[in-house]
Amino acid sequence: MHRVWAEIDTASVRHNLRAIRARAPGAKVMAVLKANAYGHGAVEMARLLVGQGIDHLGVGDSGEALELRDAGITAPILIVGGIIPGEMPRVVENGIEVNLHTVQMASELNAEAQRQGRTVRVHLKIDTGMGRLGMQPFEAVPFLHSLRSLRNLELVGLCTHFSSPYEENPAFTQRQIEYFNLAVEVADRLGYGGLSLHASSSLAIWNHPLAHFNLVRTGIALWGLLPGGEEGWEQALKPVLALKSRILFLKDVPEGTPIGYNRTYYTPAPMRIATLPVGYNDGYRTSLSNRAQVSLRGRRCPVVGRVSMDYTTIDVGHVPDAAVGDEVTLFGDGISLYEVATWAEAIPYEVLCGLGRRVAREYI
C-alpha cells in the first residue's frame, strides 16, 4: 500500500499512439521520453511502446539514453538535445544517435567515433526560429559540404523545432516550415537521400499536416494532453496518469483554527480536516495551497492551508463517511490536470515532470 502513487493506464497510451498514427498517416513516429517520460517512467514506457512497434525513441540527454540502453532497450534512440565531449564515449559505444548543432561538436564526435572504430548516426538540427539549439539555415549549407570529410559520422536525419505551433495565427510556424524545406532541398541536392525529416511536435501533428514529413515527434500527446487543452483533442486522446494519495489523519477542529505553515488559512467554522501524506517533495506544489481541489469518494474537497514538503490538508466536512485510509485523487478521475496546472500557475508539462521520487508508479 502506497502513501502517494501515480496510476498509469497503459491501454490509454496504446490508444493515444493509434490516434497519433492515424493523424499522421505515412509518417513514422518518434516517442519522446524526456524527463522520465514526462513522469510516467521512461523504461516502462519504452518497453510498452517498443512492443507497439514504435519507430524511434527520443530523449533529452545522454543520461536518459543510457538508462534505456542499460535496461535492454535496443530500439533507435536519438538525443534530441545537446551533448558535451565528456558524454561522447558512452554515447558512441552504445550506438545512440545524436543531434548535431555545431561544426566543433561534429568534429569532436567524429574523433571519438574514429577512436572507437565506430560510425555514429547523426541528425542535423536546423534553427528555423526557436533560437536555442541548432544551426542557422545559412550555416547548414557549408556544414553539409564539410560533413563528407567526417568519415565516422553518418547523416541519417534533418530536423527543426517549432517555437509556437499553438498560436491561432500560423504565419510564424509556416515560415519555419519554409526555412526547413530550404534546408531539405539543399541536403537533397548535395546527395543526402533517404533522410529522416522531422519537425512536428505533438501539437503540430494535429495543427500543421504540412510539417509531418516522414517522421513526427510526440511527447505530451502520448500521455493524452496538449498545451491549452486544444478543443477537439479530448475526443482523440485519453489521459494516462492519475495522481493519488490517501487520508493519513483526521481531526475535528473548532472555528478559528489556523491550518498549516504561516497560518494562511483559518477555519471559518467547526471543520473536519484530513491530512494527506503528499507535498511539494512529491510534486504537489506549494502554489496549490488554498486553491486546489481533490476528489474523495466522488466529491470535491478544497485544499486548505499551505502545502508543505510532506503533507497537504483538505476540508472533508461535507464527506461525513471519510475515513483514515480512504483513497484521494489529486488529479485524474474528474480532477483535470489542466485544472491543477491552472491552480498551480504552471503548465501540465511541469506538473507531470515534477512528480518526485517518492511517488510510486503503478501500471494498469
Instruction: Evaluate whether 274 touches 247 at the Cβ level (below 8 Å).
Output: yes
Give residue for cell 483513497.
Answer: 327
- What is the rounded CA–CA span in Å between residue 304 and residue 302? 6
- Contacts of 172-181 with CB under 8 Å at 24 or more apart are 172/129, 173/204, 173/208, 173/211, 174/208, 174/210, 175/128, 175/129, 176/128, 176/129, 177/128, 177/208, 177/210, 177/211, 179/126, 179/128, 179/129, 179/137, 180/126, 180/128, 180/211
Q: How far, in Å, CA of 65 to CA of 83, rounded?
A: 11
Residue with cell 503548465: 347
Report d(CA 118, CA 46) in Å as an integer: 25
Per DSSP, what are the bridge partners of residue 168? none
Q: Count of CB atoms within 10 A of residue 272's CB?
A: 17
List C-alpha distances in Å: 170 to 127, 159, 178, 203. 18, 19, 12, 12
C-alpha distance from residue 34 to each of 18, 61, 63, 115 (Å): 20, 8, 10, 29
Q: Nearest to residue 120, comparing CAs of 133, 134, 106? A: 106
Catalytic residues: 34, 261
Q: Supply the Cα-derived Rg of the chain in whole angstroms.
A: 24
SS3 assignment, position 88: helix
- Which cell numbers in the block locate residue 164? 509556437
Phi, psi of 295, deg, nearest 5:
-115, 125
DSSP-derived secondary structure for 265-288: EE-SSSEEEEEES--GGGT--GGG
